[in-house]
Amino acid sequence: MRLIIILLAISSVYAENCSIFDGEKYSKRSILTIKGLPTNLVVNPNNKDLLFTLIDIESLQSDDVQTKMDQYIFRQGEPIKVDNVNGQAAAVDAENNMVYIATDDGLSVLNKTNKANFIGFKGDDITQLFKPPSNNKLYAVVYPDSEVYAIDLVTNEKNKVENVPCAFILAVDKKENIFYECESKYIKMLLKGFQEAIEFVGIPKNSARAIAIDPHGRVILAANDGLYWLRPDSLIPRKLMDLDFVPSGIAFYDDSILLSTSGVIYEFSGNCKN
């Protein structure tokens, strides 16, 4: 009887360590602990580098000082600071193997020595970047009004995206539908060719934290209570995963999900067995 109880206890522990994402079991492990709030996660699929922005929490909570942010590369288990620029976000052009860095004074690219080289848009305080895998556009959010611009990477022209008033998080799918959150309220979607955005239902106000495209081309939202699949043909998101922490960033590569929260970045891998 005692052996059975022990085996049941062990099985219970393994079960608790498994998380369910879209019906599949995922194991969870910490890949980095670091002081601050890691956010704006993005993976370079060509070399598996994880890029993220680290926010100083004390400066974030103070209205009297500018929020301190640093750009990092997580490579082979070690964080590397991009120390020659005030980085605020990154985006990866996987096809051309380019890494773009959003700074408080324009747009830069990452060179082979882990430094940022300025390439344009001097004076623009860029707070967010998103590179869709299917076209030559780079989407940038510019402070202080958080307006969204599309940068043509061939002509280097920047054009304001009409009908998106502002964005704090942003993703663009392969059909150029734009998913965004504005003014810390609800997640909206502007379908290509339309002039008015529509709002997803069922997600609480002020709960959206990060957004990314998964390997299947799905738009995945990380909210306070879990991960949601945002579909362009439905205003009701499909919940794929429950979370027991508040996420600050999300990224995908291969069969893994990367999620960050205060002080830590987790990897969820599809190999959990119990």
**Whole-number pLDDT of residue 12:** 31
pTM for the model: 0.90
For domain 23-268, give the CATH superfamily.
Answer: TolB, C-terminal domain (2.120.10.30)
**Whole-number pLDDT of residue 64:** 66
Name all contacts of 36-39 with Cβ < 8 Å and 24+ positions apart: 36/262, 36/263, 37/248, 37/260, 37/261, 37/262, 37/263, 38/72, 38/248, 38/249, 38/260, 38/264, 38/265, 39/210, 39/248, 39/249, 39/260
255 contacts 267 by C-beta, under 8 angstroms: no
For the chain, the domains span: 23-268
> How big is the chain, counted in residues?
274
* Cis, peptide link before residue 144, omega less than 30° from 0: yes
pLDDT by residue, tens only, the chain of 274 residues: 443 332 333 333 333 578 999 999 999 999 999 999 999 999 999 999 999 999 988 877 666 666 789 999 999 999 999 999 989 999 999 999 999 999 999 999 999 999 999 999 999 999 999 999 878 999 999 999 999 999 999 999 999 999 999 999 999 999 999 999 998 789 999 999 999 999 999 998 899 999 999 999 999 999 999 999 999 999 999 999 999 999 999 999 988 999 999 999 999 998 787 6
Name all contacts of 165-168 with Cβ < 8 Å and 24+ positions apart: 166/141, 167/128, 167/141, 168/128, 168/141
Q: Collapse the DSSP code of 163 into the 3-class scheme (helix H, G, I; strand E, B; otherwise coil) and give the result.
A: coil
